[in-house]
Structure 1
Amino acid sequence: MRALILVMDSVGISGAPDAARYGDDGADTVGHIADACAAGRADSNAREGPLYLPNLVALGLGQACSLANGRVPPGLDGRVEHRQFGCASEISKGKDTPSGHWEISGVPVPFEWGYFPRTKPCFPADLTNALCDQAGLPGIHGDCHASGTEIIAEFGERHMRTGMPICYTSADSVFQIAAHEQTFGLERLYEICAIARRLINPLNIGRVIVVGTSASDFKRTAHRRDFSVLPPENTILDHAASAGRDIVTIGKIDDIFAHRATRRNLRGDGNMALFDATLRGLASLADGGLLFANFIDFDTLYGHRRDVTGYATALEAFDDRLPELLSRLRSDDLLIITADHGCDPTWSGTDHTREQVPILAWTTQSSSPVGRRAGFADIGATAARHLDLPQPLHGVHF
């Protein structure tokens, strides 16, 4: 008996009930990608035609979309073989990665994160001065809201000449630092981010994100790190650790939970490497164990960059790997595939979108229909129930 939670980062299925508060009324990551594919607007040398996700459809993705907004996106109306599907709306106040993952694990975020203003400079002068003083920096480039891809390309060469890292933020509660790994040094970059983490704690900023770049085109490397704050309550990971259970985390899960109760962490450069890591982690996962995985490419490579074709291709590649995972599940295992927020690649800007998320469960055990859930915490509650762990303070198992 094991439990697996797989988070398809940013794969939302239409605007949450409070999406208008966030400027996201009408956003629909999966639906709009499917629309673009059906209209031929996402064709390329790598893919063409309607969005083709037969394995996710068999788990109920199309019907989960219908529960969320009343329509099955084109290409996703197929036979449902596992009828444990549903959708959930977030109750945490943000639309960011930590809030979504913490809520999935049974801990909604009850407070408002701190954010940096849309001014230039956007960081307080005393913060910038303290960072430069304590880290021995001659200054910083950026100091604004920006798309990571664009600002790294804009300041990359100047950064290498001056030794000044590129610092920027977004609509999320983040302080992002990018630097060239070879000329600046990856370990030095990590040290500077640790200093920044201490300095921004009083501002209630959720994450300091390290972005390493290499080569002349300043391509991001796989050495990204998130310096997060700790969840305010015990998560399902904490409950599993206290019970002495085996825990395997995949991708950036360990960073999201500030390395508390994340035990064995397996990383990979991209979704396919992360899928390989998931299969390895499952093979070694002991009875009663929990596997928690994040698949980051959907968000960082395609959602934020508003790349509809790339996002569709990534969804199809993920779907194509699912039979490998399903064939390795035991009859008493529980698999839940979900998401943490949206990042509609057809939407304006480059930020996340406030959306409902799918809940796709594979189980041979008898259980109630998932339906529409008020809060992601029901996912953690269900995994805890399956593993006979103490129930989190939030959420109702299905």
Structure 2
Amino acid sequence: MARAIIAVLDSLGVGASSDAAAFGDAGADTFGHIVEACANGEGNRAGLREGPLRIPNLTRLGMVALAEAARALPLPGVDRPVPEGLHGFAAEQSRGKDTPSGHWEMAGLPVDFDWGYFEAREGTFPPALLDALISEAALPGVLGNCHASGTAIIEALGEEHLRTLKPIVYTSADSVLQIAAHEEAFGLDRLYEVCKVGRRLVDDYNVGRVIARPFTGHDRGSFVRTGNRRDLVTPPHGPTLLDQVQAAGGAVVGVGKISDIFGGCGITKSCKAVGNDTVMEVMLEQMASADDGSLIFANFVDFDMLYGHRRDVAGYAAALERFDSQLPAVRAGLRADDLVILTADHGCDPSWPGSDHTREYVPILGFGPHITPRDIGGRSSFADIGQSVARHLGLPPLAHGETFLNTPIRRGLEHNVTA
């Protein structure tokens, strides 16, 4: 009996999608711009990495082929072997470019409504919301109240937070309220409780997430965010692939922040893991023990959190090379009827202005002992991933998406390639 593994390289977009201009992202290209920077030396960093991007395992699967098809331009300094994996790219149908929308859509549930956003750059949150948060969480007040990079705002306001114990509240282009506080001085459990209050309050604004952002350190030179982040997400608005697997008696193992992203819905086992290496370690452990019929769903958040949002091209490149070096261990852990899909949930181009996600196509790389290598072209929805996994696991069809397993290549996207 089959198993499926979905590994999300969080934010690894492969070129601006056809609707990117509407999001201010025309020209964004997370993977392509990293490859270009490494080829021209801008992706070098002493002691970390240098030279062209070296991802031989991803390249053999078809990463370069699908990226060049998605961007309709060649990439410099890369090899082009005949792909050994199922490879293509997908456009997002959901109306946002946020983490929940991307994951829910790849699980067969596009977000066909608009999230609520806090759009003002300063004085961002409605006074009624902040007043209620301060009152109901018994806070001395709040700091921030703006759009900001998480690391930058902690550096700017962390010392005042330590003096006043007022939590730092901020947002981004996503539908989110983020609350940062010192793990020791303010207290981690206290921060989680404040975020629970915030989660209830933002329901009135149709906001997708409240994120607890704990940090440590004693001054602006030493503040650092910890691995105790927690995402409080509104539950999916309908059933997903995860619910389908669970209903059929299969296990759904969420690794990293997957359980948070789905609000715990459809998850039978949640494995917390901080950092890409730990996520990989735990994913491999679960592959070794999961029963037939299982879905293992892992999110490699460092690509987005540490490198995309922080606009760190060299760090992102090094992380890709590190992930690539671990793929032989994934292959070694496969059983005869396993399917692995590598993909992403949105873009976060580290060469792009600002610190927000970018609207991009995402890669689809599939492999397994019985998976036939082929070009699946451009897909019209991330939901094709969920539909294909459902097909692989022998489940009834999902409401959205078209399978790319054992079907002719679909045509119709602007930059499709020839099979």
The equivalent residue for 2:39 is 38
**2:261 equivalent in structure 1:** 256
Residue equivalent to 1:203? 205
- Residue 21 in structure 1 maps to residue 22 in structure 2: yes
Shift of the alpha carbon at 1:74? 2.4
Distance 2:35 2:302 in 1: 18
Kept in 2, the 8 Å contact 1:63–1:77? The answer is no
Instruction: Determine whether 1:360 maps to 2:365.
Output: yes
- Matched residue, 2:396: 390
For structure 1, which segment, 44-53 or 358-367, has the greater mean C-alpha deviation from structure 2 after superposition?
Answer: 358-367
Question: What amino acid does structure 2 have at the position aligned with 1:162?
Answer: T
Aligned mates of 1:184, 1:295 — CA distance in 2: 28
Q: How far did 1:233 drift?
A: 1.1
Residue identity over aligned pairs, in percent, reads 52
Deviations 1:185-236 (Å, cap 9, x if unpaired)?
A: 1111111100000000010101001111012322111110110011111110
Provide the rounded CA distance (Å) in 1 between the counterparts of 2:400 and 2:39.
39
| In 1: Cα distance, 2:85 partner to 2:153 partner | 45
**2:298 matched to 1:298?**
no
Deviation at 1:66, TM superposition (A): 1.7
C-alpha deviation, 1:80, in angstroms? 3.5
Equivalent-residue separation in structure 2 for 1:307 and 1:6 (angstroms) = 22
Q: Give me the whole-angstrom Cα distance separating, in 1, the residues matched to 2:114 and 2:373.
A: 35
Q: Provide the C-alpha distance between the structure 2 equivalents of 1:368 and 1:184, rounded to a whole number of angstroms.
A: 53
Amino acid at match of 1:21: A
1:46 Cα shift?
1.1
Whether 2:135 is the aligned partner of 1:130: answer no
**Correspondence 1:172-211 to 2 at 5 A:** 172-211=174-213
Contact persistence 1:104–1:377 (CA under 8 A): yes
Q: Please, what is the CA RMSD of the aligned residues?
A: 1.1
Matching residue's letter, 2:5:
L
- For residues 279 and 35 of structure 1, the distance between their equivalents in structure 2, rounded to whole angstroms, comes to 32
Match of 1:310 among 306, 309, 315: 315
Query: Take 1:210 and 1:294, find their aligned partners in 2: how far apart are those partners?
Result: 18
Deviation at 1:366, TM superposition (A): 4.8
> For residues 138-189 of structure 1, what are the alpha-carbon distances to aligned partners after superposition, in whole Å with 9 as ceiling and x for unaligned?
1000000001110011111111111100000000000000000111111111
Secondary structure in 1 aligned to 2:341?
strand
**What's the CA shift for 1:265?**
1.4
Residues 1:280 and 2:285 are matched in the alignment: yes
Q: Assess if the C-alpha contact under 8 Å between 2:85 and 2:374 holds in 1.
A: no
Distance 1:198 1:290, change over 3 A: same
Per the alignment, residue 96 of structure 2 pairs with 94
Structure 2 length normalisation: TM-score? Answer: 0.93
Range moving further from structure 2, 134-143 or 114-123: 114-123
Counterpart in 2 of 1:378? Answer: 384
Using the alignment, how far apart are the partners of 1:365 and 1:168 within structure 2?
A: 45
For structure 1, which runs of at least 5 residues remain unmatched after alignment? none
Q: How many pairs does the alignment contain? A: 398
- The range that moved more, 85-94 or 72-81, is 72-81
* Secondary structure in structure 1 of the residue aligned to 2:328: helix
Distance in 1 separating the partners of 2:70 and 2:264: 33
Q: How high is the TM-score relative to the length of structure 1?
A: 0.98
- Is the 1:274–1:295 contact (alpha carbons within 8 Å) kept by the matching residues of 2? yes
Preserved CA contact (<8 Å) 2:12 2:346 = yes
Structure-2 separation of matches of 1:76 and 1:249: 33
Question: SS of 1:34's equivalent?
Answer: helix
- Offset of residue 42 of structure 1: 1.3
Look up the SS of the partner of 1:188 in the other structure.
helix
| 1:42/1:48 contact within 8 Å kept | yes
Given that 1:247 and 1:285 are in contact with CA atoms closer than 8 Å, whether structure 2 keeps it comes out as: no
Q: Cα offset for 1:77?
A: 2.8
> Unaligned stretches of 5+ in structure 2?
405-419
Q: Which amino acid aligns with 2:398?
A: P
> Is 1:139 paired with 2:141?
yes
Which of 336, 341, 345 in structure 1 is aligned with 2:341?
Answer: 336
Q: Deviations for 1:253-294, whole angstroms, at most 9, x for unmatched residues?
A: 000000111121112221011110111111111011100010
Counterpart residue type for residue 133 of structure 1: S
Do the aligned partners of 1:82 and 1:361 also contact (CA within 8 Å) in 2? Answer: no
Paired letter, 1:382: S
Q: Is the 8 A contact 2:367 2:373 kept in 1?
A: no
Residues 142-157 of structure 1: pairs in structure 2 closer than 5 A: 142-157=144-159
| CA distance in structure 2 between the partners assigned to 1:368 and 1:50 by the alignment | 26
Q: Residues 144 and 309 (structure 1 numbering): CA distance in 2 closer, same or farther, change over 3 Å? A: same
